[in-house]
């Protein structure tokens, strides 16, 4: 089978200025329109969607590539395309390469060890060395060296999942740089047998999308922003800001254009078999002209300007409502248009629910001299509750300033307990986003896959018991790949993404039960579904993504209606 996405990556790149102009339009345009109907069939689908679906629930888990969990799913584009039943790579497998472009004779060790600190059983760095250059089972690959068999209940170490490193790992669609450019080395190539999990069972009963990609390259912070605005947040005048945020140092081409590659810390790095990668500066902010408009954008983890934030209040903040604005990782308040604004314009109810939101609110408003109990505060990996403020995208926006707009915070930013109560009472808003707290979100280094699986499956059961279930669509997906390899090349889009392939489940009484949906989707496909159902103005980033895909001869992203049976 030809991999058309991979072929698209290998076509000569369209002039960077063309992509930059499209992205500038997404970041600055104030013109909005409805998604166009494409013939009578499309119009009929829109009518059916609007007549049959009243509630859309989005569950946003953490950091798993498609092959990492669903590589053995029946009927899906999985590991069987590149690995035989004996685990040996097939000719279609593209081997991982070293930093000099040569094929690695083996995978690098997992730097720092496979399992997270404090987790039993322990699999050390030494015990992880020498694996063949191929995908491998995380449960069984280390058994011979360590005498331990791991499981989805094991919390492994975290892996890099950053904006520019990710693009270096993708390597123009070959996906052959994952081991060389990861701080976790060979662990990036691991996968699990997820077939006995509750979510896997739900995927078999409902719909699994096997061609769904994270909307933006890199990590959680940016992809949460992309989920609500199809954009990257701005850091005005970052080069001269008092807080001195970190700006990435990139390679440039012969005429001075920035490339999506970090400059290494030295002219010739040693082999990936010898050490993790080192860079001159892998900053959180892009250089001013990376996107072609002279502005700085935040692409790696920054903290909200309002509590709860990972940055404590300033000493002179008497009410402890704000994050210290002089901290270099505090992002200035954002003012761009989000899906929340689009919903409000049409008077459609919505809310963002978070695990431990109420506890984190109280925790954030403590004196900066006090130790926090909820915000980034697990007792151990997988401990309670590990609330992660950079997973709360609306808390970065001026509209939710706690002094200027407390009513907006109350109306739209809520605790998980309120989600459960609203579902039981049949009072969920038309659009509900849910973010699990850190110990149950499946993020490597923080949580086990099994704990998150049980939590999310329990929520789905509660939603299916809701009076609103007969007219509901639940979308379960992941913010991003979490540093884990996937064999399918993402389609070539704009300068933000899309990135790696990730799992997505569509659960609804109207789902095409027991099917695998091969439609091309990404994170903003969720926004497309919401936009189409409620007749919203289109966010500019959606149009930009379509234009960029078209420029690279790729089809537009779908809106998830392909997973639903919407026949009249």
Residue 94 backbone phi and psi in degrees, to 5: -95, 110
> For residues 36 and 43, is the Cβ–Cβ distance under 8 A?
no
> For residues 525 and 557, is the Cβ–Cβ distance under 8 A?
yes
pLDDT tens for 218-246 read 999 999 999 999 999 999 999 999 999 99
What's residue 12's pLDDT?
36
In a domain, 187, yes or no: no
Number of domains in the chain: 1
Question: In the chain, which stretches have pLDDT less than 50?
Answer: 1-19, 21-22, 24-39
In a domain, 343, yes or no: yes
In a domain, 452, yes or no: yes
pLDDT tens for 447-484 read 999 999 999 999 999 999 999 999 999 999 999 999 99
Write the DSSP symbol of residue 435.
Answer: E
d(CA 236, CA 239): 9
Q: Which residues of 14-38 are buried (b: 16+ CB within 10 A; e: fewer)?
A: eebeebbebbbbbbeeeebeebeee
d(CA 161, CA 480): 8
In a domain, 357, yes or no: no
DSSP secondary structure letters along 498-519: --SB--EEEE-TTB-TTEEE--
d(CA 482, CA 452): 15
DSSP secondary structure letters along 462-511: HHHTSTTGGGEEEEEEES--TT---SSPPPP-SSS---SB--EEEE-TTB
In a domain, 359, yes or no: no
Domain that holds residue 461: 4-36+59-73+194-231+249-282+336-348+430-563
What's residue 315's pLDDT?
87
d(CA 454, CA 392): 22
In a domain, 438, yes or no: yes
In a domain, 460, yes or no: yes
CA distances from 340 to 18, 229, 351, 397, 537 (A): 29, 9, 8, 11, 11
Instruction: Give the predicted TM-score (pTM) of the model.
Output: 0.94
CATH code where residue 531 lies: 3.40.720
In a domain, 175, yes or no: no
């Amino acid at each position: 089978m030809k991999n058309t996405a991979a072929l698209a990556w290998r076509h000569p790149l369209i002039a960077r200025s063309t992509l930059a102009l499209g992205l500038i339009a997404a970041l600055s345009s104030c013109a909005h329109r409805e998604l166009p109907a494409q013939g009578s069939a499309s119009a009929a689908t829109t009518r059916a969607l609007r007549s049959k679906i009243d509630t859309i629930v989005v569950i946003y888990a953490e950091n798993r590539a498609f092959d990492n969990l669903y590589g053995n799913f029946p009927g899906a584009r999985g590991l069987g395309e590149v690995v035989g039943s004996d685990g040996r790579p097939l000719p279609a497998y593209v081997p991982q390469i070293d930093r000099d472009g040569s094929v690695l004779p083996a995978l690098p060790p997992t730097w720092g060890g496979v399992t997270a600190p404090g987790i039993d059983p322990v699999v050390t760095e030494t015990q992880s060395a020498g694996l063949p250059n191929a995908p491998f089972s995380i449960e069984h690959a280390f058994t011979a060296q360590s005498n331990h068999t791991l499981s989805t209940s094991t919390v492994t170490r975290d892996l890099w999942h950053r904006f520019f490193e990710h693009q270096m790992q993708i390597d123009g669609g070959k996906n052959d740089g994952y081991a060389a450019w990861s701080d976790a080395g060979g662990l990036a190539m691991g996968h699990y047998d997820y077939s006995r999990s509750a979510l896997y069972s739900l995927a078999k009963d409902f719909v699994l999308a096997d061609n769904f990609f994270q909307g933006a390259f890199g990590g959680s912070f940016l992809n949460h922003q992309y989920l609500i605005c199809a954009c990257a947040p701005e850091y005005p005048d970052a080069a001269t800001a008092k807080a001195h945020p970190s700006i990435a140092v990139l390679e440039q081409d012969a005429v001075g254009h920035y490339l999506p590659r970090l400059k290494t810390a030295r002219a010739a790095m040693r082999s990936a078999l010898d050490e993790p990668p080192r860079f001159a500066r892998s900053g959180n902010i892009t250089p001013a002209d990376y996107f072609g408009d002279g502005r700085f954008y935040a692409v790696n983890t920054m903290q909200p300007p309002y509590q709860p934030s990972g940055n404590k209040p300033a000493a002179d903040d008497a009410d402890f409502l704000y994050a210290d604005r002089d901290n270099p990782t505090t992002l200035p308040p954002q003012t761009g248009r989000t899906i929340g604004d689009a919903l409000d314009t049409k008077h459609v109810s919505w809310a963002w629910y978070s695990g431990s939101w109420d506890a984190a609110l109280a925790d954030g408003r403590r004196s900066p001299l006090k130790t926090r109990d909820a915000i980034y505060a697990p007792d151990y990996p997988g401990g309670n509750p590990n609330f992660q403020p950079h997973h709360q995208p609306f808390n970065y926006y001026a509209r939710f300033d706690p002094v200027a707009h407390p009513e907006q915070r109350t109306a739209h930013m809520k605790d998980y307990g309120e989600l459960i109560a609203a579902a039981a009472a049949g009072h969920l808003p038309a659009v509900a986003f849910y973010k699990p707290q850190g110990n149950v979100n499946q993020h490597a280094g923080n949580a086990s896959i099994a704990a998150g699986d049980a939590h999310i499956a329990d929520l789905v059961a509660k939603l299916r018991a809701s009076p609103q279930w007969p007219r509901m669509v639940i979308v379960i997906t992941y913010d991003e790949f979490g540093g884990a390899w996937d064999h399918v090349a993402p389609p070539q889009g704009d300068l933000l993404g899309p990135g790696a392939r990730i799992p997505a489940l569509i659960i609804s009484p109207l789902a095409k039960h027991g099917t695998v949906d091969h439609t091309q989707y990404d994170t903003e496909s969720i926004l497309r579904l919401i936009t189409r159902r409620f007749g919203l103005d289109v966010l500019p980033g959606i149009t930009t993504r379509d234009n960029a895909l078209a420029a690279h001869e790729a089809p537009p992203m779908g809106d998830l209606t392909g997973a639903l049976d919407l026949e009249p």
